[in-house]
Amino acid sequence: MIRRARNAALVVALLLAPLAGCGSESAGEDALVIYSGRNKELVGGVLDQLQQATGIKVEVRYGSSGEMAAQLLEEGERTQADLFFSQDAGALGAVSGRLAELPADVLDLVPAGYRADDKKWVGTSARARVVAYDPRVVTEVPNSLEQVVDPKFKGKVGYAPTNASWQAFVTSVRVLKGEDYAKDWLKKFAANEPKRYDNNIAILNAINDGQLPLGLINHYYWYAKVAEHGADAVKVKLHHVSGGDPLGLVNVAGVGVIAGSDKAEAAQKAVRFLLSEQAQRYFADETAEYPAVPTVKSSKHQLPPLSELHGPDIDLSKLSSLQQTLALLQEAGLS
């Protein structure tokens, strides 16, 4: 079962500062209010399609997944949100106590590994963690957690500390390797003087521009850059870490219906749309993610099959302990 957020106050205390930009104005009476931890640039198009396909008026409030999760916990039953659309499974698990169970026919649309044990959320798309690198200067790419913190990569690795996928990756290290190992690894990572960036796109651009040798990102940013600029203009290469190492974590974006919503029927209809062939093809072709519904394939991007990635075997439900991860990152000076 997904762990309940055992210390919501800590989550709010750590994340409250950025909440002002998330939007708190009153929602329209007829609108389905979505708290989106996914970037508007990535999912604005599919949420527009949701309105057109279902006839449901949608009001979207954007922020990071951590910000949205903290806001849901702070607001409690006073929230105006009807749906939480998260960048990763960890933020969904952290607020599972605020989510309603989804119907079996909705959950069954995706593989068991892409839905919550407690039936509170369902994955909408999947993404792989990768090591992005500049082949013009990098002759050896780190292939494990231990190699990333090797002194020979000191000052050469970029990361995005506020990114939900980075935080979920660190949580996976805690879950798979234990608290002591995670604390020690973060200490070594910090000592290796990694370069901080606002997001994955900034890391990718820095590598492409010759300003950074290596970066820890999600795969789909590279495919989007290639689609926009052409393969010849993109100097960055991707390395998929295999062997079950957390560097190769495959995580999901997902969605959950807020418990007590007076628009529960419309919210469930929205979830069904996000798992429809139309929406799944959007994720496959427009955002270059892996569709959560396995029968849908991309007609635009040549992604390696998930079956060939060999990332860590992990129950994504166990990525819910976001508050412990944030505290550990803060302690290591990496938040």
Q: Are the CB atoms for 218 and 127 separated by under 8 Å?
A: yes
Long-range contact list for 273-278, CB < 8 A, 24+ apart? Answer: 273/49, 273/50, 273/53, 273/54, 274/46, 274/50, 274/85, 274/124, 275/106, 275/109, 275/110, 275/122, 275/124, 276/53, 278/49, 278/53
Q: Give φ, ψ of 291 to 5 degrees.
A: -60, 145
221 labelled ligand-binding: yes
What residue type is 213 in one-letter code? P
CA distances from 315 to 86, 250, 320, 321 (A): 17, 11, 10, 13
Cα gap 283→292, rounded to integer Å: 9
The answer to whether the beta carbons of residues 74 and 99 sit under 8 Å apart is: no
Q: How far apart are CA 201 and CA 217, in angstroms?
A: 8
From CA 327, how far away is CA 329, in angstroms rounded?
Answer: 5
- C-alpha–C-alpha distance, residues 163 and 87, integer Å: 9
For tokens 């300003």, what's the residue? 211
Q: Is 197 flagged in the annotation as binding?
A: no
Residue 190 CB burial class (10 angstroms; 0-12, 13-18, ≥19): middle
- Do the beta carbons of residue 196 and residue 155 sit within 8 Å? no
> Which residues belong to the annotated binding site?
220-221
> Which residues belong to the annotated binding site for Fe cation?
220-221
